[in-house]
Amino acid sequence: MLKFHLFISGLLSFLSISSFAQIDEVKIHFAIDSTQNEGTTLKVTQNFTLEPQAKAFHFYAWANAYRPNSVLSEIKLMSRDDKLNFSKVKDRGGIKNLRFFDDKNQEIPFQYVNSELIKVSANADTRTNITAIYDLKVPRDIFTGYGWNSNGNIYLKYLFLQPAVYENGQVLEQFFKDFESLTANQTNYTLSFIKPKGTQVFTNLTKIDDETYLGHEQAFFEVAIHPEEQFKVIKTKSSEIIIGFPIDSADLPQVTQHLERQISFLNQFFEPLKEPVFTTRRLAEKIGYNYVDDVKIPLLGKYKIFDDDTRMALQILPVLFSAYTERSIHVNNRTNHWIKNGLSTYLQIRFLEKYYPHLPIAGNLLRDIHLFQFYPLDFFKASKIEFKDRFYFFYKNSLQENYDQPLTTPYDLLGNENQRVVSYYKSGLAFKYLEEYIGKEKMDELLKAFLNIRFNKLLEPQEIQSFFEAYTHRDLSWFFEDLIHTNKKIDFVISSVKREGGKLKLHVDNNSEYSGPFRLNGYNQNDEKIYTEWFRSPQKYLSLSIADSGITKFSLNDDLPLPEYNYARNFYDTKHLLNRKIKWGILTDIKTPQYQQIFVTPSVDFNNYDKFKLGFNFSNETLMSQTFEFDVHPEYSFGTTKLTGGTQATYNMFPNGGTVRKWSFWGGLQYNHFDKNLAYFKYNLGSLLLFRSPFRSLNRHHLILNFNDIRRNLPQNPTPIQRELKHYRLLNVGYDYWNFHIIHERRANFFVQGSNKFQKLFGEFYYRYRFSKNKRLGVRLFAGIFLNHNLKETTFYDFGLDHVSDYLYRFNLLGRSDTDGIFHQQFVLAEGGFKSNFNVTANQYLSTLNFEYPIWRWFEAYADAGVYKNRQEPSSFVYNTGLSIKIIPDFFELYFPVQSSLGFEPILPGNYFKRIRFKLNLDWGKVKEYRRRGRYE
């Protein structure tokens, strides 16, 4: 066996070395030329010794990305970051006064293929020397963390010219997107410069003297020049570590101890690194979600979730492990990012299993939050999640929301969240899944043999698969071709269990036809595991037969690291008819698949008729989406002393692939008051088709179809019109589109409504343009027309110019039937969208334009103009203008009318304060959506 391992290692090493006999040599010399008014500029002389290329050499000029309208700028805008778009000229980066020379000092012509790729015309059959001389305008560090800042710090990475990478003879085109996904050749670097007086230099190159630094077979290097000792250099037995985030000097002995242990663990798998390991806050932000930092609580100061010793160890862990794998594994960081990122996460899990096996993710909160001897967090399973399992739950959430992507998705095409959740967490869990299948000892042997091979070329997945399969003597095509290349949801179901002739006959459904292995566990009546076995079959239906040895409960994959789509169907209890018992909880929690969970949440609401409403919400909704969700929310109305509330059941489908991300069906009923002592009863059935948008696209759109049956109480001595409005049914079909681009925000919708009383069409388009850092111009167009209207004696179904006609009871109106008073002044941006009180409706057509223009901070000017028409009346034009204060934009705003078709409103008869309108949005679902903008996509 040892000879076999040596043969495999030697073969791959030979192939790797023979593919690239020599590697690039790059020598960089620069002088710092800083001026306060123009930022920081470097005078650069850069010499390249490169492998021969046909006709031309190519170089990346990523410093040119630091300008408006670049690929980087658009990426930032899609992440709702507009700093580069509105940057000052002195804060931007770029390469200027560029010239190329050959080894005879003859100038070489060049051209820009694009703003970040340069083509240098030169023929060479042997290794070639090319020299570039240029001015490097260093960007300010507010955009990516790289560059200069006002404290005199300079942090250099991805700014100097970089020799291009070639694949199959073609240049690999790469734009700088601030994703840390760029790929470069293994290069020997020589860097020389004279540091400014009073500064220190920190770099992952090896220091030769105060002016010279060397790097051996590195893809990239980074240099930090600081006037103060902001970084700490810690020397362990085998490595030198640069800590690029603040650490108190008093903590250095503890930090050193943790680094010794973590590096010792890494050296079990990797060869010790010769160059310093650079760990920075920038890298920590890329990895994200460690959740160990102290929390700042207003008025109370900092709260320590973990004690200082544990916090320091966990802060360093992901950054160090990621830096190690980044330095040791050479892959195409765009297409094969999952290899090094996954191994980094996998090794972190292994380290946590060894040294922090039962550390709760809630840390000290579990014991610190209490009342006498009552510890409320003990009631929540989420609080008992172990720190090492956080990767599982973050990926599980992405999977449940149907945001999962294949691991082979190029890094820059992963959604914002998935750059961490998929590239790091899912891939790390996949390697952990492989470990469970082949065994921990075999996995350790495999990784040690594999990671100690020095590859001088980009490593490909096919090479890894060949090595893994040869080493383990197993067919691992399910891992590399199914689990890695697709986003099939692992979804096994134990559909039935029968006892026949001393055997237990199980039927297992493989809903996604996933070809990988699954593990079946059996438990006795004392919940002791007495049976475990691996099975593998890509077939949709699988029949198993095992000995009846006292097993009373079965589970599938309940102890595997990679989550399934729906664990609730992975358990089968042969003794309980309902299969899953009911478990009660409060508020919400993570899913416990062995139980049917019901959560109880107190609720409070208010309107002018019910006054305060207090009640409880009974729901099965957990912290992650589910296929079936229900809620029942009875409330006591203090204004009427009656019971109100409603209930709804929803069935969600999450298609794997295709154009639909989520398809929901629901049915519900609602009982509330629309006027004093008058209630409505509403039945509704509906369906929503949420389309899948390309990841990293800000476009969202969906179709909605719903049917409403509404019955209203009648007052004493009702009029004929009130009798007509007692009972009505309505079908509503609509399309919604929105794009939350930070510069060009757009929303649009179109609806068709029909009943036995009327049919109408209406829609709106909203556009908001951010033309400077804190100023946005907004324009909204609304248009609606009745196809017919059989009940013209009432304005109940009309389009409202300044008050919405909410006959479907969709909006949270505090005084929907009020015609005067403070609650009548509530404003909803719907239908006409006017702010002045015209009390006008339209039963034929209505078309309006709404404008908003920023003045200063919260203050904006608004103007509305429109045309409306009622049947058998002439059309009318109206307008209004005024000032608004956006205290919490989109959620709490005030509107002060000034000039309108009514006149100069501040001097009109009556109380001006009754003309002031307010917007109050208490829809917490909207708040949640606002905070999620751009998160997964």
Token readout for 75 is: 């990426």
Give the span between the Cα atoms of 65 and 431, in whole angstroms: 35
Tokens 């959430």 sit on residue: 397
Residue owning tokens 């009656």? 642
**Euclidean distance between CA atoms 225 and 193, whole angstroms:** 11
Closest Cα to residue 436, out of 325, 353, 318, 525?
Answer: 353
Place of tokens 């070809």: 515
Q: Show Cβ contacts of residue 211 under 8 Å, excluding neighbours closer than 6 positions.
A: 192, 193, 194, 195
pLDDT at 332: 92
Identify the CATH assignment for 22-230 out of 3.20.20.70, 3.40.630.30, 2.60.40.1730, 3.20.20.150: 2.60.40.1730
Residue 168's pLDDT is 82
What is this structure's pTM? 0.90
What pLDDT score does 206 carry? 93
User: d(Cα 714, Cα 608) in Å, to the nearest integer?
Assistant: 18
- What is the SS3 assignment for 878? strand
| Three-class DSSP category at 69 | coil
Contacts of residues 710-714 at CB distance under 8 Å and 24 or more positions apart, as own/partner, are 710/680, 710/681, 710/682, 710/683, 710/807, 710/808, 710/809, 711/680, 711/681, 711/682, 712/674, 712/678, 712/679, 712/680, 712/681, 713/677, 713/678, 713/679, 713/680, 714/678
* Domain ranges across the chain: 22-230, 502-510+517-579, 618-734, 741-936
Mean of pLDDT over the chain: 89
Integer Cα distance of 84 and 773 in angstroms: 10
CB contact at 8 A, 248 and 214: no
Which residues, given as ranges, of the chain have pLDDT below 70?
1-22, 35-37, 54, 124, 288-290, 299-300, 454-456, 575-580, 923-937
Beta bridge mates, 764: 749, 782
Beta carbons of 72 and 79 less than 8 angstroms apart:
no
Residue at token pair 């002044």: 825
Q: Which residues contact 291 (CB under 8 A, 6 or more apart)?
A: 305, 361, 390
Q: 467: left (phi > 0), else alpha (psi -120 to 50), else beta?
A: alpha
The single residue listed with the structure tokens 């694009």 is 114
- How far is the CA of 449 from the CAs of 51, 280, 470, in angstroms? 30, 29, 12
- Token readout for 427 is 């891939």
Q: Angle at the Cα of 841 (from 836 to 844), degrees rounded to 5? A: 140
Count the residues in the chain: 937
The CA-atom distances, in angstroms, between 448 and each of 187, 266, 340, 451 are 25, 10, 14, 5
Q: Give, as one character, the DSSP assignment of residue 139.
A: P
Query: Which residues contact residue 298 at a Cβ distance below 8 angstroms, ignoring those fewer than 6 apart?
Result: none
Calpha distance 322→428 (Å, rounded): 12
pLDDT for residue 578: 54
Give a three-class secondary structure readout of 254-323: HHHHHHHHHHHHHCCCCCCCCCCEEEEHHHHHHHCCCCCCCEEECCCEEECCCCHHHHHHHHHHHHHHHH
d(CA 314, CA 306): 10
- Alpha carbon distance 572, 554 (integer Å): 5
The neighbouring-strand residues paired with 759 are: 754, 788
- Which residue in 294, 368, 283, 272 sits closest to 317, CA to CA? 283
| Distance from the Cα of residue 63 to its chain's centroid | 27
| Burial group, residue 64, by CB count within 10 angstroms (0-12, 13-18, 19+) | buried
| 464 conformational bin, left if phi > 0, alpha if psi -120 to 50, beta if neither | alpha
Which two structure tokens, joined as six digits, stand for 770?
Answer: 């951010």
Q: Give me the phi and psi of 269, to 5 degrees please.
A: -115, -35
For 391, the 3-state DSSP assignment is helix
* CA dist., res. 328 & res. 454, Å (int): 8
Q: What is the largest CA-CA distance in the chain?
A: 105
